[in-house]
Chain A
Amino acid sequence: MVISTDSSPASRKLTAAMVIAVALILQVSVANRLPLPGAVIPDLVLLTVVALALINGPLLGLVTGFCAGLAADIIPPADHTIGRYALVYCVIGYLCGQASDEMDRSAVVPFVAVAAGALAGTLLYAGVGMMIGDPRSALVILLRVVPVQVLYDVLASPFVIWAVLRVTGRVGRDRTSSGGLSTSAVRYRAMSRERV
């Protein structure tokens, strides 16, 4: 478990909440109105949850995921059953938090985790929709949407994760006790800077 209790947890929670709020607003009022090919939009909130979970570990990851999902369920244009995103993001936050221990083992872990998280999140959301009989989650529609959605999520992930690390990095750098995670964060940040 990488969560270190000595670094002020309150400030980390506050940062996480702010990051999620910004991601939600950006998603709803900017990203969703972009005329991307296929009319599919990368899920910035899901990527933010994955990034926060990779940084903060499973507990904070799942709490963050649940809160972000609940917010995504009630933010104005949302018109689905409340709780769907809360469920999905909570699970994804927990799973990706489990991978946070592996962050310092290999540099590709964040990428794999994000891709897996995007795929699992999209499928889980669609699966829940099918279970509750949402006409939007019909199989025909899902076959059309899910591949594009996952592709877009993976394409957008370096930017989102870089931005999240940039914002939360100040908190991470102050922590000297858990050196492994912060060095990995620094390394990943440098890596994504090269890509950008």
Chain B
Amino acid sequence: MRDTRRTRAVLGTLLVLALVLITIDYRGGDRSPLRGLRGVGSAIFGPIERVSASVVRPIGNAFDAITDAPGERRRADRLARENQRLREQIRSGMLDRDRSAQLNGLLRSAGLGGYKIVPAQVISAGQGLEDTVTIDVGRGSGVRAEMTVMTADGLVGRVTRVGPATATVLLATDAASTVGARLEDSKEIGVVEGVGRRGLGRRGSPMRFRLLSAAAPMRVGQRIVTLGSQGARPYVPGVPIGAVERIEENPGSLTRTAHLRPFVHFSALDVVGVVVAPPRSDPRDAVLPPRPKPAPTPTPTPTPGVTATPGATATASPSGQPRRSARPREED
């Protein structure tokens, strides 16, 4: 009985205390004096709760894992597959971007020259001693034999044989290839011959340019474009070929020979364009990339040929004139 009475007393006290606390806290609102109490509570219990949670969560997870194991395995598989797919998408996206950049460049070059092109991709390459590739367009795309093949950078070669859906291209570096060519900003013509890319001790240049006139000026760094064949077959005019890298001095010969550095990276051909319709007018030097700035300065030596044949260069076409005035020294 006593116990009951004491118990009731304590109960009543605590109930009252609770009511008081409620009243104080409720009436106090935000400025309640009991807020400190809550601060103490969170300071003490917060870390404990965290520790206990960190102990309990793995256990709970383990239970979950056991009960959910098949579902989790499926989920992991799904995520792995999704991951793989996304990775492939990224990779193919990069490839596509690369290809799209190449196509854009090709279209820009074709637009500059007024060529009508069919874009194509290189699908295989020849073996042994020959420098040939197969491209994935053929008769169905309007490609015929003896058409010019180019990239955004310059001349690749010409179509030699056409199948229904493929065509064979003879690269300009092949030893059997000969291209009529012209020095930029002068009308001096010559022949670009392939030397072959394969083998030991290549000193960099897979092409040779034979200038037909032995007295005509030629200097290192000068660029060369196609001259254009009769009827624009096989070569359309104005496609950049390469820059003069080294000039062979052999005084007795009728022609002067220069080694070329081609603009096209022949060992990594990917997107190319077949010129299916020639330009209406010769684009001259319009397709050549803008001349690199530091290039003219290391070769300021005015070759005696420049002054010796003023007549040949004075009759340069109007499109060639502004480039001539960019020379360091003008003999007018």
> What separation, in Å, do the CA atoms of A41 and B200 have in the docked complex?
13
Contact status B128-A77, CB under 8 Å: no
A136 within 8 A of B: yes
Closest chain A CB from B28 CB (angstroms): 81
- Which bucket holds chain A's interface residue count? 35 or more
Given A77-B124, A141-B175, A144-B201; A136-B129 close (CB under 8 Å): yes
Contact status B174-A136, CB under 8 Å: yes
**B130-138, B232-240, B314-322 - interface stretch:** B130-138
Given A33-B124, A41-B127, A137-B129; A79-B160 close (CB under 8 Å): yes
Contact status A39-B174, CB under 8 Å: no
> What separation, in Å, do the CA atoms of A29 and B168 have in the docked complex?
13
Closest chain B CB from A47 CB (angstroms): 12
Closest chain A CB from B275 CB (angstroms): 20
Residue of A nearest to B197 (CB): A39
Contact status A77-B134, CB under 8 Å: yes
Chain A hits for B201, CB < 8 A:
144
Q: List 19 A-B contacts (CB under 8 A).
A: A32-B124, A33-B122, A39-B202, A40-B199, A41-B127, A72-B127, A76-B134, A77-B125, A77-B133, A79-B130, A80-B130, A126-B129, A129-B129, A134-B129, A136-B129, A136-B175, A137-B129, A141-B195, A144-B196
Chain A hits for B127, CB < 8 A:
27-28, 31-32, 41, 43, 45, 72, 78
Residue of A nearest to B127 (CB): A32
> What separation, in Å, do the CA atoms of A32 and B122 have in the docked complex?
12
Chain A hits for B166, CB < 8 A:
76
Given A29-B123, A135-B175, A136-B196; A39-B267 close (CB under 8 Å): yes
Closest chain A CB from B130 CB (angstroms): 5
Secondary structure dominating the interface of A: helix
Closest chain A CB from B278 CB (angstroms): 24
Closest chain A CB from B179 CB (angstroms): 14
Contact flags B86-130 to A (C-beta < 8 A → 1, else 0): 000000000000000000000000000000000000111111111
Contact status A79-B175, CB under 8 Å: no
Chain A hits for B126, CB < 8 A:
28, 32, 77-79
Contact status B198-A78, CB under 8 Å: no
A17-40 interface (Cβ within 8 A of B): 27-29, 31-33, 35, 38-40
Chain B hits for A144, CB < 8 A:
196, 198-202
Residue of A nearest to B163 (CB): A76
Contact status B130-A78, CB under 8 Å: yes
B246 within 8 A of A: no
> What separation, in Å, do the CA atoms of A137 and B127 have in the docked complex?
13
Which residues on B are within 8 Å of A, measured CB to CB?
122-130, 132-134, 160-161, 163, 166, 168-170, 174-176, 195-202, 267-268
Chain A hits for B197, CB < 8 A:
39
Given A32-B124, A76-B168, A125-B128; A38-B134 close (CB under 8 Å): no
Residue of A nearest to B123 (CB): A29
Which residues on A are within 8 Å of B, measured CB to CB?
27-29, 31-33, 35, 38-41, 43, 45, 72, 76-80, 85, 125-126, 129, 134-138, 141-145, 147-148
Residue of A nearest to B268 (CB): A35
Chain A hits for B198, CB < 8 A:
38-40, 141, 144-145, 148
Closest chain B CB from A30 CB (angstroms): 9
Contact status A148-B199, CB under 8 Å: yes
Closest chain A CB from B213 CB (angstroms): 24
Chain B hits for A27, CB < 8 A:
127
Contact status B168-A79, CB under 8 Å: yes
> What separation, in Å, do the CA atoms of A138 and B134 have in the docked complex?
24
> What separation, in Å, do the CA atoms of A38 and B174 have in the docked complex?
15
Cross-interface CB contact of B128 among A38, A80, A135, cutoff 8 Å: A80
Contact status A76-B160, CB under 8 Å: no
> What separation, in Å, do the CA atoms of A29 and B201 have in the docked complex?
26
Residue of B nearest to A151 (CB): B200
Chain A hits for B160, CB < 8 A:
79
Contact status A77-B132, CB under 8 Å: yes
> What separation, in Å, do the CA atoms of A40 and B175 have in the docked complex?
15
Interface centre among B163, B197, B200, B202 (most CB of A within 10 A): B200
Closest chain A CB from B161 CB (angstroms): 7
> What separation, in Å, do the CA atoms of A90 and B190 have in the docked complex?
42
Closest chain A CB from B159 CB (angstroms): 11
Contact status A148-B124, CB under 8 Å: no
Residue of A nearest to B266 (CB): A39
Chain B hits for A29, CB < 8 A:
123-124
Interface centre among A41, A77, A137 (most CB of B within 10 A): A77
